[in-house]
Structure formats: structure tokens, C-alpha cells
Amino acid sequence: MGNFANKNLTDWHQLVESELKGGSSEDLIWDTPEEISIKPLYTAADLEGLEMSGQMPGFAPFSRGVRATMYANRPWTIRQYAGFATAQESNAFYKRNLAGGQKGLSVAFDLATHRGYDSDHPRVHGDVGKAGVAIDTVEDMKILFDGIPLNNVSVSMTMNGAVLPVLAAFIVAAEEQGCSKELLSGTIQNDILKEFMVRNTYIYPPAPSMRIVADIISYTAVEMPKFNSISISGYHMQEAGANLVQELAFTLANGKEYVSTAVNNGLDVDKFAPRLSFFFCVGMNFFMEVAKLRAARSLWARLMSDFHPKDPRSLMLRTHVQTSGVSITEQDPYNNVIRTAYEAMAAVLGGTQSLHTNALDEAVALPSDFSARIARNTQLILSEETGITKVVDPLGGSYYIESLTASMEQEALKLIKKIDEMGGMTEAVANGMPKLMIEETAARRQARIDRGEEVIVGVNRYKNNDDDMPELLSIDNTAVREAQIQRTETIRKNRNKKEWMSAVDALTRGAENKENLLALSIEAMRQRATVGEVSEALEKVFTRYSATTRSVSGIYGSAYKKDAEFNDIQNKIKSFLNEEGRRPRMLVVKLGQDGHDRGAKIIATAFADIGFDVDIGPLFQTPEEAAREAIENDVHVIGVSSLAAGHNTLVPELINMLQEFNANEILVVCGGVIPPNDYEFLKNAGVAAVFGPGTNIPSAATKVIELIRQRSKAA
């Protein structure tokens, strides 16, 4: 049999050479961004030496699935991540989705809530209700889940910075609606290390933030046996630009760090590890995404064995998956339905426990009822019509998948060992290593897309010039904020002042005395403290963290060596330098509480490599702070990067501040997740140009140079 197989392989190589006219199969090898070489053909020989014999679903190391029957017995949980405007509007949206076949809720909170600010705080007036639902008190949480039976509906909450008051409000709201905390099922994200790496919705420094994680794990292990105390997230890493090996390695390294922290705090690993969960992104590299999820389970079982658990469930990696937000595009948006369907299938073939499918319009706006229905039905059709649920791990045994799974595990393990040598993930995050690696990878990918080396259908190839954007959901930020402030003021007026003050003071003392902060937060929220008041009580002891902004250099430009168009742009910069005596200077800013800085960092590094002088403002600036920095740095242009929909409020304020400071000569341009319907509004407000998702960066740079020249001549 072996000789026959070898002969067939030799014959195949000869056939390849003839089809390639003298070439070889080596010419067909694809080197992925993860530096894994993918061959055009896999055979049984590629499985030699791999530990596959005897592996069955439901048994360690679980590469074939954490349950023996997987979807053949129970399909994955269909979730949709949603939340917008007020609790009332989000509640109505949830009820419609549950009636349409959704099985669990995934709550998106607005950025004011994420950052621990009440809706009346002056720093968040452009963020309230924009990218999620605004939650200030227990009363908001009660409205959010009104009429939804929390004793049999699983609730997942994406919350990290203000995790204590938000989880506490959820627990109190459930109790006051008749559901005790012992019956609550679902997940709180509670993954703060990831925030310091990519998403930036942190509040406190790393050390006290890790203490909060441990307190939540400790409390829920005893009091909430059906609830997952942490969802260790790689999703935001891939969204920020991480390749699949980086997402896998950094996510599991974070998980290992959380387990170590809990064990070092005296917790028995088997008391909490079975309730840990994970959250991965699945993008368009279909088979590598399948292999990533299979490798994640196997590698996690290996890492957890070092903690010597006695319960086999402690070795299981259970995960939620969301289809990629980065892969969906503003251009030709109905292509996003197709992308999401492929990504959903990859997630299911990889063995996810629950799934969120992105809506076709989410490249530029929150999902409408129309787009949300299509996204939900994508999962229903996958589950009910394809037959995919009838077989456990249908790709198990595939030469390609098994080989790729092993390669992903090996490459991720190398990176995890590197992190261990640095002293663990907390030390690596403090050192900035993961963040820097992800930003470099993001810059390389953007260069590949801009050069057309990585094809995005409808963006850099096969472009459709028709304007077929569906009707988009728009949030009246001012109305939402006013309603939130009015309700919160009423609660502050009517609460028992003595009991409220006692509970808030106890929180501050607890932060100093090492008491369990979730237990104290529950009591504070029960006495109608607000999210902001709980955060401030802890901030007195922990302080509010401010990160140092850094950017990579040379990565984007290196992809354009000897590129004629790129050299032409650089020559325009040199010409500008000769005429003006300095290079064009740009300040890249994020306004409000939007910490998603992938776009800002890519623009900063790309424009710097092109030849601009580039400054990057600190995160969470107000329009006034950004205007003052622009004037102090004597910039020609401010580039506002927007992802969380605050631009219609904050950008006009920035322009007004520039006018107030007599700095009308400074241009303002905007880029990022901006709906086409907002372009005219922004330009009428004084924005010189708007660059939507998928904009080619060299083209944008050329446009900005022209705008600066025009403004200089006009001056």
C-alpha cells in the first residue's frame, strides 16, 4: 500500500509539472500571514507523527469537540450581539429577536458605560447610546430585561472596565424581577488584559484590574454556579489586526494568566475552571479558522494540565464565536451576507458552542431589523437546512485539517513559551510586546490590501459603482442622553442617602482592605448607586489608568519599495518640503471614549512612512483637548478616526473649538466607520474630506496633500 501511495504521489508531481509547463508543486505553495506554508496537496504522510490515534469528541484533548455528541444532540446557541440607544429600545429589539429564533442574548453597552462614566458626565456627551445601550443604574438594567425570563435565557455581556457595577446591576435587577443569582446563566467578559492590548476600554491600572477579575471569579464560583465568570477574548485581537496564530496564542496566554491569578489567590482550580469560556473571531481564511478552534481546545487542555485539575471539565475550552467585523465592507455591502455565511460555517465546523453572525450593514452602522433578521436566519439555515449538525466533527481526519491544526498549535505554543519567558502575560502586556506585534501585523495586512495583493471583492477588485447601501439605523444621541440624565437624576433624588453613602464608602474601604469587590458592588447597586459612582469609589484607591501612545514605523512603507505610485506621493511630500520649509504635519486623534485605535494606528504609521510628520493624540480626548494639541503642535491637518458613531456630535465641536482659538487654517478630515449618509452633514460642518472603510491609504494621502496645498494658497 505504501509503495502504491508513493507511486501515486510521484505521478501527481509529474502531472503538476506538465500542467505548469516545467514548474513544480513548490510554485503552488502559499505562505500565510502566520508564516505557515500551505501545500497544494495533503496526504496520509502529512499525518505521520501527529498524536491523533484514539482522539474522540468529548475526551481530552478535545480537538474534535468538548461534547461526545456535539451538534448531533444539541446545536450551538444562536446569539446576536446587540444594544443601542435606550434600555427600552434594546429590550424591544431583544424580544423581536427571541421571537425570531434567537436562543441567547449578547449585550452591547455604550462606551460611556464601558469606561465607568454616567451619562451626565461631560466627557461622554457624544458617546451615550451610540455604540451600545446606556446603563447607569439598576433601573436601566431592569428595563433592559423586562419581560425576558432570565431563569431560562442565557445572557452574555461584553463588559470589562466597568465590570463590577454592570454585573452587580444585572444580579440585582434579576433578583428584583424574581430570578435569584443561583439560576442566572450566561457570561460576563471580564477580560481586562485584552483591553490593555487592543480595545482600551479599561479604567484602572493592570494590577487592581487583575484583582477585580479574581474577585469576580471567586464570587461567582460560589454564588452563581451556572454563570461563566470570564470570557477570554481573542475576537478583538483579530479585529485589531492580529493574525490567527497571534489571536490563538495571546488569548490562551491571557487565560493561563487568569487561572494562575485565581489559583494564587487560594481558589481550587476545579471550582472555577469549568465555568471559564472563550471568545474567538472567525474571518475569511476558512480552513485555518476551523483549525484554529480545534487547536485552541487541544492546546488549552495541555496548558490546563499544568494546574493538575481533577475534574476533566477543567480541561475543556468552550467558546463563543463572532464572525469578523473587519471582513465586512462598506462597498458592495450585500457581499457581507456571503462573507458572514462562510465564516459562520467555519465556526460551526470548528466546533463553537455559540455564535453571533454580523449584519451586512455593520461596516458603517448598528444593525437594522432588516439586516439583523438576515444575520440570524444565516444561522437558522445553517442549523436546520444543511445537515451540518448530523455528524460530529465532520472534518476530523482530513489530511489538510489535521496537519493544519497541528501547525497552528505548534506555532501558538512557541509564542506562549516566549510570553512565559517574559514572566507571563501581565508582564508581556506591561512591556507592550503583544500590542506592538498586533499593530505590526495590522500594518502589513493593510499594505497588502492597498496594493491589491490580498483581494477584497468589491473593494480592491471587481468594484461595483452602484450605490446600493441599505437604509441604515441612526441614533439620536442627544435625545438618548437627555432621557438617561432625567431618569438617573430621579433615582438619585429618591434613594436612601444614608444607605447609599454607606454602601459607596464601603466600596472604597474594600478596595483598600482586600474585601470582595463584587459583593460590595452588589450592595452599592442595590442602594441605587450609579455605574459612575461605583467606578469613582474604586478610582479613589486604584486611580484611573492612562496608557502611553506608541506606534510602529517602517512596516507599511516597506511593502511599497520600488513602487512607482508610492514614490510619486513621496516626491510630492519632498516638493511640499521645498516650498513650505517643512513636511505636511498631521495630528491623528480619537475623540470621546472610543478606544478602538486600529484605524488610527494604521493611518499614523502609513502616513509617517509616506513622509508626513505625524503626531498621535492620547486616547479619550475631548474636542477642546484635541484642538489645543493641534495648535500647540502646529499641524496642517487633524485626522479624526471614528468607529463608535460619535463623529456627528464631536467633530463639529472640534471645528468650533478651532474657530474659537482662531485656528481656522487647520484642516479636519475624518475616516473610519462613518455612514455615507453622514458625509454631507460633516462636510457642511466644515470637514474637508471623509474617508470611509476600505479607502486606499496612498490615495487618501494624495488627497490630503492637495487639500493642504489649497488651504495654504488660500491663506
Pick the catalytic residue: 236, 292, 356, 636?
Answer: 236
How does DSSP classify residue 233? E
Give the list of residues 6+ apart from residue 249 with CB closer than 8 angstroms, or none.
Answer: 411, 412, 413, 414, 415, 416, 419
Respond yes or no: is residue 308 known to be catalytic: no
Q: Is 596 a catalytic residue?
A: yes
Q: Which residue in 292, 356, 590, 601 is the catalytic one?
A: 590
Catalytic residue among 320, 596, 636, 647: 596
Q: Is 81 a catalytic residue?
A: yes
Q: Write out the three cell numbers for 211.
A: 484583582
Burial of 419: CB neighbours in 10 Å, binned 0-12, 13-18, 19+ = buried
Ramachandran area for residue 22 (φ above 0: left; ψ -120 to 50: alpha; else beta):
left
C-alpha cell at 29: 505553495
Q: Which residues contact 312 (CB under 8 A, 6 or more apart)?
A: 60
Give DSSP secondary structure letters for 364-424.
Answer: TSPPPHHHHHHHHHHHHHHHHTS-GGGSSSTTTT-HHHHHHHHHHHHHHHHHHHHHHHTTS
CB-count exposure of residue 468 (10 Å: 0-12, 13-18, 19+) = exposed
Q: Count other C-beta atoms under 10 Å from residue 432's C-beta.
A: 15
Distance CA 585, CA 608 (A): 9
- Joined together, the cell numbers standing for residue 491 give 433615582
Q: How far apart are CA 116 and CA 124, in angstroms?
A: 10
State how far the Cα of 175 lies from the Cα of 84, in Å rounded to an integer.
24
Residues 371, 358: Cα–Cα separation, whole Å: 9
**CA 101 centroid distance within chain:** 25
Q: Which of 219, 235, 556, 560 is catalytic?
A: 235
CA distance 679 to 304: 50
Catalytic member of 110, 120, 191, 594: 594
CB 165 within 8 A of CB 525: yes
Show Cβ contacts of residue 169 under 8 Å, excluding neighbours closer than 6 positions: 135, 137, 138, 140, 141, 525, 531
Position 568, amino acid? D
**435 close to 298: Cβ distance less than 8 angstroms:** no
Cell 467585523, located at residue = 325
φ/ψ of residue 506, rounded to 5: -60, -35
How many other CB atoms are there within 10 angstroms of residue 424's CB atom? 16
Cβ-Cβ contacts under 8 Å for 342 (sequence gap 6 or more)? 284, 286
Helix runs in 473-551, H state only: 477-494, 497-513, 517-526, 531-542
- Rg for the chain, CA atoms, rounded: 26
Active site (annotated) includes residue 703: no
Catalytic site positions? 81, 235-236, 590, 594, 596
